[in-house]
Amino acid sequence: MYLKSIKLHNFRCFGDAQIIEFNRGLNVLVGENDSGKSAIIDAIRIVLGTTDQSWYRMELSDFYNEDKFVDINIIIKFCDLSDDEQAAFLECLSYEKNDTTYVPCLYLHWTCKYLLNFTPPRTTTVLSTGLNGDGQAPSAMARELLRVTYLRPLRDAYSNMQSGRNSRLSQIMQGIPDLNDGTSEYTPEIELNTLSLTGIADLSNKLLANHPKLKKTNEDISEILSKKMLLKGDDVTTHFEVSGTDTTEVKKLVTLLEKLDLSIHNNLGKGNVGLGTSNILSMACELLLNRNIGSYFLLIEEPEAHIHAQRQLRLIQSLQNEVNLNKHTHQIIITTHSPLLASAASLENIMIIKDARPFSLSKTHTKLDDDDYKFLERYLDATKSNLFFAKSVMIVEGPSEELLLPTIAKILKRDFTENGVSIVNVRSTGLRRFSKIFQRNDEANILEV
């Protein structure tokens, strides 16, 4: 299945109801600051939950204009559910007519209310299903199928890959299928390479408990205890026990995996690498976590953070290839401020977010022809892609206008840079094609540039 659309009402900058439709596979949300990109990402992860089990506390600031008298309403629609997914959400499905057949889809209605009759005030949320929101909520097990992997902006990716209680690395490793295959209990006659991970833990516990130095220490403690501290006739013995020996295999496995650090080697040797490499390493691990399950959803905010240009290109190409290979199960939604990433992504996968309104560049929404897409993907480089992030765009045919118009604007005290205007030189041949990026099939939904 894939996330077909999300409808936002009264959530942050989305006051009036807005419907954002997503493509299968890769979706790249671009636009200037405070346009609503992060609000879309946050709405998805708040409703669906995240694989790292993080929890988000709703605040008054999440309500549009902090209007606590109007509820937040978020509706998420999923389409193309597999047979197993249809079975998991059987009681929650809606059926929509498609030509002569009815196809199942899943609607999630999420509502957040601000309760004023409490001191201090608090929020409460309700989840329902169905086309009109009158169906029962999915079971807890079914909701686990909807969890998204979320990579926040400017994240401490290096720390995420280090050992510790509830470390992200251990959570990722737990998702590897058949990770604990092998013999779970050590006996002297078996070969060590046949042990499972919990078998390794069992062997370690036995070696620790039976170490000669520890045995001698235990004997010394018993001797001091019996000769100097206990009464005659007291029958007390001591022995060392390894903590966690009697726990379940699952607990043993988790404890073992939480000891793992993921280190990286480079030409300078082993040690801490830069933030950019750590960022890429973190994303690689997240992709590994989701590779072995059915449908999965990956949300990444600002993947370009700390990553130089060539690696940015490699990253977006890798994400594009990932979804192309698994287009029926993998969906990735990223936000970016990088013209380089925007230029490398397929034009159909880009969605401009402007003033809390979405403008998809897919074929069903623009007046671009097939030839236009081919032309623009060839010539829409990083320099020209800054038009996706500008308040206004001026398209010119050559270098003369590119040099002259900003100077005229500065003389008129309408400096392009100060007013967020992007000037794009299309070198005479692409004027019509570039202008059609902003022309919509729905003429009522105009993208003002």
pLDDT tens-place string over residues 250-287: 888 888 888 888 877 666 555 566 777 777 877 777 77
Is there a contact between 123 and 114 (Cβ–Cβ < 8 Å)? Answer: yes
Distance (Å, rounded) from C-alpha 323 to C-alpha 149?
15
In this predicted structure, the answer to whether residue 112 has a pLDDT above a threshold of 70 is yes
Q: What is the pLDDT of residue 254?
A: 87
Determine the residue type at 265: H
pLDDT tens-place string over residues 22-74: 999 999 999 999 999 999 999 999 999 998 888 899 999 999 999 999 999 99
Query: Closest Cα to residue 141, out of 180, 97, 92, 71?
Result: 92
The pLDDT confidence band at residue 155, using thresholds 50, 70 and 90, is: low
In this predicted structure, the answer to whether residue 327 has a pLDDT above a threshold of 80 is no
Cα–chain center distance at 193: 36
Phi, psi (5° rounding) for residue 369?
Answer: -90, 170
Better-scored residue on pLDDT, 15 or 236: 15
In what side-by-side order are the strands of the sheet with 296-301? 148-151, 296-301, 330-335, 25-30, 350-354, 357-360
Better-scored residue on pLDDT, 143 or 256: 143
Domain with CATH 3.40.50.300 in the chain: 2-161+262-360
Q: At 232, is the secondary structure helix, strand, or coil? A: coil
pTM for this model (two decimals): 0.85
Q: Which element (helix H / strand E) includes 98?
A: strand 93-98
Query: Closest Cα to residue 283, out of 261, 307, 267?
Result: 307
Residue spans of alpha helices (H) in 6-62? 37-48
Domain covering 2-161+262-360 assigned CATH 3.40.50.300 in the classification:
yes
Residue spans of alpha helices (H) in 49-121? 83-88
Longest dimension (CA), the chain: 106
The pLDDT confidence band at residue 356, using thresholds 50, 70 and 90, is: very high
In this predicted structure, the answer to whether residue 79 has a pLDDT above a threshold of 80 is yes
Distance (Å, rounded) from C-alpha 439 to C-alpha 242?
69
